Structure 1
């Protein structure tokens, strides 16, 4: 059995590769990367696979039984990039494709959902056997700003009282590995989210408790939050997108009370408090 992972040098990809090695050994794993030299430390076979250079994809997928297609990071280009991978997978005779989509992609109001819906449709039309993993938010998307919030004396955002059912990136990696290494997932779509939801006020309270400092949550209008993100170095387009995601969260886009994720990984998802403590180390 040959298991291949795209985006293998990314944060999620590296976690998936590490988990796979622990479960199946390095011999069955192929890391697919745009820059193979960046994957040299993964300890598995590496093949060049550049979404924007389709001719690299056929050779990269030769002999692959199961492919984990981790969604690309280049918003606006992902549908075309994913189509290239799907076409190459079909041509190479890949047995099963697993795709990391977005929570409730079919109904989500988030701008991110559009390319995920399009990719899901391409996979279903390809005739390939598939599994869709609709990943919710990574807790790290918020805890990555914890240190700055402590320094600034406040956690800021535009999510209001929206409940966020996030999970640690490692939880989503474990779900992908579970599907890669076991059967009975063909044709299934899993809505993946954390077991316990929280608001950004709850997050601020947890940060305050763990640091012994008062770090309140300050809810801001979308434009104001976007300007703050630009002021700390984010590109304007990316900052605007992040602020819009928070507004979507305020309307329930990141809340889900299903247990697909914990059921797939066979344990509770990582509590937000643990992710906060990890971020504060």
Structure 2
């Protein structure tokens, strides 16, 4: 039995789809979700849908019952994730899972990116649990650029950020989901104790991002580098919650220091193909934008 937590989230849903595509029988997949109604499409395919809430440990025992391999998709609530993850890890111990796979952050043990403040303690909890584990240290999502701010960049003619000339090894959620599915289904990829530093094959600067948007869209777009506090304010002015805006700005500073790039090649090796290119992702995203 393979169990995926957060299975109606962006990443978890893609992992379940990839497992099905790989031929894992639907009845051997458990989708753990807060709101089962949101997983009706998964249930219709034969996937077991179980209620499990990171904040309600009393729900997690039944959710993980019979699990051999568990994918713990990190929570989305910044500031709450360590206790939430602890609840899942404790339930995994009680359930006697054979392998726990966790979606962490690229270079979690060395980066200054604020998100590591919750990922690294979670890694430590997993190690302390004694459970066999694999750590998937995911880099930045390409969707951070193709879904967030793309329309604004096209309208204003500027990508804004605080990354300087730093490179980011971003990849699509689908690429990261494929890596997780590979680890859950391939014993060699899922060797206990493995730590994967995952990122796209072609790291890029935000100046190069702007140039690619120009090439794909035909609209002139440049990159405007801002001090982190100014960038954070611009994000909040655009409606981004203040805490998340600060995280994004600080992450850009991490990019400027080379903390969200990697040349490990782990991601393309796990998925057995090159990672999705920036140009491909932008073409798809721009085609999906409302006509203007």
Aligned-partner Cα distance in 2 for 1:90–1:237: 33
TM-score of the aligned structures, taking structure 2 as reference length = 0.94
- The SS at the match of 1:280 is helix
> Equivalents in 2 of 1:25, 1:275: separation in Å?
30
* Secondary structure of residue in 1 paired with 2:61: helix
Please give the per-residue CA displacement for 1:152-178, whole angstroms capped at 9, x wherever unaligned. Answer: 121111111101111111100000000
Is residue 40 of structure 1 aligned with residue 40 of structure 2?
A: yes
Give structure 2 stretches of 5+ with no counterpart: 288-292
1:78 aligns with 2:87: no
Aligned equivalents of 1:238 and 1:89: distance in 2?
Answer: 30
Residue 216 in 1 paired to residue 222 in 2? yes
2:128 aligned with 1:125 = yes
Equivalent residue for 1:5? 4
What is the Cα deviation at residue 25 of structure 1? 2.8
Q: Secondary structure at the match of 2:8?
A: coil
Please say if 1:231 is aligned against 2:231: no
* Counterpart for residue 161 of structure 2: 157
Matches within 5 A, 1:73-222: 73-144=76-147, 145-184=149-188, 185-222=191-228
> 1:244 — aligned with what?
250
Residue 51 (structure 1) aligned with residue 54 (structure 2)? yes
Give CA deviations for 1:173-228 in whole Å, capped at 9, x if unaligned: 00000000011321111111111110000010010011111111111111111111
| Residue from 263, 271, 283 that aligns with 1:265 | 271
Moved over 3 A (4+): none
- Number of paired residues? 280
- Determine the C-alpha separation between the residues in 2 that align with 1:89 and 1:169: 25
CA distance in 2, matches of 1:258, 1:94: 29
Per mean C-alpha deviation after superposition, the further-off stretch among 11-20 and 221-230 is 221-230
Compute the displacement of 1:27 (Å): 1.6
CA distance in 1, matches of 2:173, 2:56: 28
Mapped contact 1:147–1:279 kept (Cα < 8 A): no
Which residue among 260, 280, 283 is the counterpart of 1:277?
Answer: 283
Q: Matches of 2:124 and 2:248 in 1, distance apart? A: 26
Give secondary structure in 1 for the equivalent of 2:176. helix
Q: Does the Cα contact within 8 Å between 2:135 and 2:196 map onto a contact in 1? A: yes
**1:27 counterpart residue number:** 27
